[in-house]
Amino acid sequence: MNKTRRAVLVKLFLWLVVYPGIPFVVGSIGIIGYANWPRNFETFDLPTIAAATEQVVFIVHGKDDDTNTWALEMQAIYRDQSDNATQVFALDWTPYSDNFLRCSVDGHQIGVGLGERLATHTNVKNVHLIGHSAGAFVVYGLCEGTKRVSESIQIQTTYLDPLGIYGGMRRDYGLNNFGSCADFSEAYIDVESGVPGSNEPLLKAHTFDVTGLRSTRSFGESPHIWPVNYYMSELRNGSANRLVSDPALRERFPPGLRTVVD
């Protein structure tokens, strides 16, 4: 191969393969950098925990949402089912929940900080964390932060149609990690919701597939919110799984398996 032909082939390779790929590479690096750029969440306060409190419950809304749509209603239902040693909080993490590229990273960091502070309350023995959609990352962070400081606190995590994509790029992050730090973890999904990471069983939690019940119960809203509605009805009628009163849950509902609810 002469030098002229070689030079032509090199130029063709550069123009047809290398140069077109540069914007994609630069753009991907930019997205990853933006999504994972550290922020300071120290001003995100932990709610006041009373000295007599032994169990704390956090209910966390998802992306483009706030506590008014369903979290406050669930908070009221959970309180009605609890004793005086339990505090139930609906956590509002707006505006950090609004940015699709950053909400997973920000939610996780917020959760870790809250969990580390929660664990300093030595009177707290049990924690139940409930999160919908991107709120799953707050739940996961809360669990990690709490266990990092105090392994002795018993934690149940409940994921409601969780968003699984992390940092805008890591699509299977939630599927592979949610539930990993809890003493018992469960997920409720609608496989037709179309939300990345919410359509398959979690590897570290027991997954309840409630898709079929949506049509049976004539639920006319988005499939993504249906698991919230279903879980709220389970709370209301006293059928929801509660690790604090049923320590055998993990044996009955082991992680990595799916139960179809119909």
d(C-alpha 152, C-alpha 80), whole Å: 27
Contact 191, 174 (CB under 8 A): no
User: pLDDT by residue (tens digit) across 158-201?
Assistant: 999 999 888 766 678 999 999 999 999 999 999 999 887 778 89
Q: How confident is the model at residue 7 (pLDDT cuts 50, 70, 90)?
A: low
Q: What is the C-alpha separation between 226 and 36, in angstroms, rounded?
A: 30
The pLDDT value recorded for residue 135 is 96
Q: What is the pTM of this model?
A: 0.85
Given a cut of 60, is residue 31 above it in pLDDT? no
Give the mean pLDDT of the chain.
87
d(CA 162, CA 141): 14
Check whether 98 has a pLDDT greater than 90.
Answer: no
Is residue 244 situated within a structural domain?
A: yes
Q: How many domains does the chain have?
A: 1
106 within a domain of the structure (yes/no): yes
The domain in which residue 160 lies consists of 38-260
Looking at the domain assignment, is residue 65 inside a domain?
Answer: yes
